[in-house]
């Protein structure tokens, strides 16, 4: 089915993506959504494990975005004054965030490049930017599967089944594991586009993309054994890039590599790199909001005054145990 035919069936909205209050609410089972009125952003207040009721703040997985970055300084000042939590930590959405100098001023305790994100310039024909390897893999995928954009309401249960298998295979926990409730809220978001691969009428892969204005993000994807064997991911990304280009997007953010390390040699990084040559850096940003509480949490986890390479220090993987 061609893109124009699909567009006749329904029209996806143009939402706020990671700045959408409904996105924060979709992640509400992992923390209490906290509004930032000056910037129009949202955070989640979560309990600190073993923290005796202490809380800290983080962005809804995986990126923080807001309507007006210039208002973030006032929001952070208010959170400090209210001692709203021990700290705040987030990964700034790289396409809209201010430069590193301003981020360092806003987040004096942690502001550093975290991961390179792979971008596709959608003002140019996406077909002309993919590598020879990706072109070959795409042709293989198209021999086995049909690819289409579907209305979100059509795909929720299929998606949850696919993603549940992925979460079990990789042992995902916490916000990246999601739940049926969280995904039901995802599928009601404006700006969400859902793409499906199917073989002989059976779904073998799906991907979710978010859009805000001229920007779009490769949000999540999952395939079953047949989809992985027949490289359905290539067909899903190719369709999504072409679709967003025809709907007025000028840049697609495919995200970075897997895990906490910025390893461009990983399989996922190689997959994302083959769609285009553009890159940008996403910054990890953090600030202490309540110094006394932060110090207590670190002390209870035997963190030395020199701290760790992690932020916040008391959530470092090695920060286990308690003196009390």
Q: How many CB atoms lie within 10 A of CB 53?
A: 6
Residue 112 lies in a domain: yes
Most confident of 81-90, 253-262, 264-273, 309-318: 81-90
Task: Give per-residue pLDDT as tens, 244-264.
Answer: 999 999 999 999 987 666 566
Question: What is the arithmetic mean of pLDDT over 163-173?
Answer: 94
Residue 239 lies in a domain: yes
The tokens for 109 are 């305790």
Residue 195 lies in a domain: yes
- Tokens 């706020």 belong to which residue? 16
Does residue 121 surpass a pLDDT of 50? yes
Element (H, E) at 206: strand 202-212
Does one domain contain both 199 and 84?
no
What residues contact residue 171 under an 8 Å CB cut-off, 6+ apart?
none
DSSP state of 182: H
Residue 321 lies in a domain: no
Q: For the ranges 32-46, 62-76, 126-140, 295-309, which has the lowest average pLDDT?
A: 295-309
Assign 84 to helix, strand or coil.
Answer: coil
What residues contact residue 131 under an 8 Å CB cut-off, 6+ apart?
273, 274, 275
pTM of the predicted structure, to 2 decimals: 0.92
Domain count, the chain: 2
Element (H, E) at 289: none
Does one domain contain both 102 and 158?
no
Query: Which residues span the domain enclosing 249?
Result: 3-14+117-280
Q: Are 71 and 83 in contact, with CB atoms under 8 Å apart?
A: no
| 3-state DSSP percent of the chain in helix, strand and coil, to 5 | 40, 25, 35
Residue 324 lies in a domain: no
Tell me the CA distances in angstroms from 248 to 9, 122, 213, 234, one per residue in order. 18, 8, 8, 22
Q: Are 95 and 253 in contact, with CB atoms under 8 Å apart?
A: yes
Question: What is the arithmetic mean of pLDDT over 7-22?
Answer: 74
Q: For the ranges 136-140, 174-178, 217-221, which has the lowest average pLDDT?
A: 174-178
CATH number at residue 211: 3.40.630.30
CA dihedral sign of residues 43, 47, 51, 54: positive
Residue 65 lies in a domain: yes
Does one domain contain both 202 and 274?
yes
């Amino acid at each position: 089915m061609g893109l124009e035919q699909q567009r006749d069936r329904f029209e996806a909205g143009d939402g706020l993506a990671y700045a959408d209050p409904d996105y924060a609410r979709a992640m509400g089972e992992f923390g209490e959504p906290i509004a930032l009125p000056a910037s129009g952003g949202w955070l989640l207040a979560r309990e600190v494990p073993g923290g005796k009721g202490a809380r800290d703040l983080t962005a809804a997985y995986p990126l923080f975005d807001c309507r007006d970055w210039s208002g973030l300084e006032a929001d952070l000042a208010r959170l400090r004054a209210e001692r709203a939590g021990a700290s705040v930590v987030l990964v700034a959405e790289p396409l809209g965030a201010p430069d590193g100098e301003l981020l360092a001023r806003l987040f004096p305790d942690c502001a550093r490049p975290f991961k390179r994100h792979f971008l596709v310039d959608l003002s140019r024909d996406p077909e002309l930017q993919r590598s020879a390897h990706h072109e070959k893999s795409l042709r293989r995928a198209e021999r086995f599967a049909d690819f289409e954009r579907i209305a979100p309401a059509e795909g929720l249960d299929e998606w949850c089944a696919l993603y549940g298998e992925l979460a079990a295979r990789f042992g995902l926990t916490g916000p990246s594991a999601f739940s049926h409730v969280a995904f039901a809220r995802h599928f009601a978001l404006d700006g969400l586009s859902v793409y499906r691969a199917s073989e002989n009428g059976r779904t073998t892969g799906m991907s979710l993309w978010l859009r805000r204005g001229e920007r779009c993000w490769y949000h999540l994807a999952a395939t079953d054994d047949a989809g992985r064997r027949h490289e359905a991911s290539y067909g899903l990304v190719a369709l999504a890039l072409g679709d967003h280009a025809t709907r007025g997007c000028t840049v697609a953010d495919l995200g970075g590599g897997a895990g906490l390390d910025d390893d461009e040699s990983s399989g996922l990084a190689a997959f994302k790199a083959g769609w285009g040559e553009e890159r940008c850096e996403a910054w990890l940003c953090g600030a202490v909001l309540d110094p006394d509480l932060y110090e207590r949490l670190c002390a209870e986890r035997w963190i030395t005054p020199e701290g760790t390479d992690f932020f916040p220090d008391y959530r470092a993987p090695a920060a286990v145990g308690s003196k009390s």
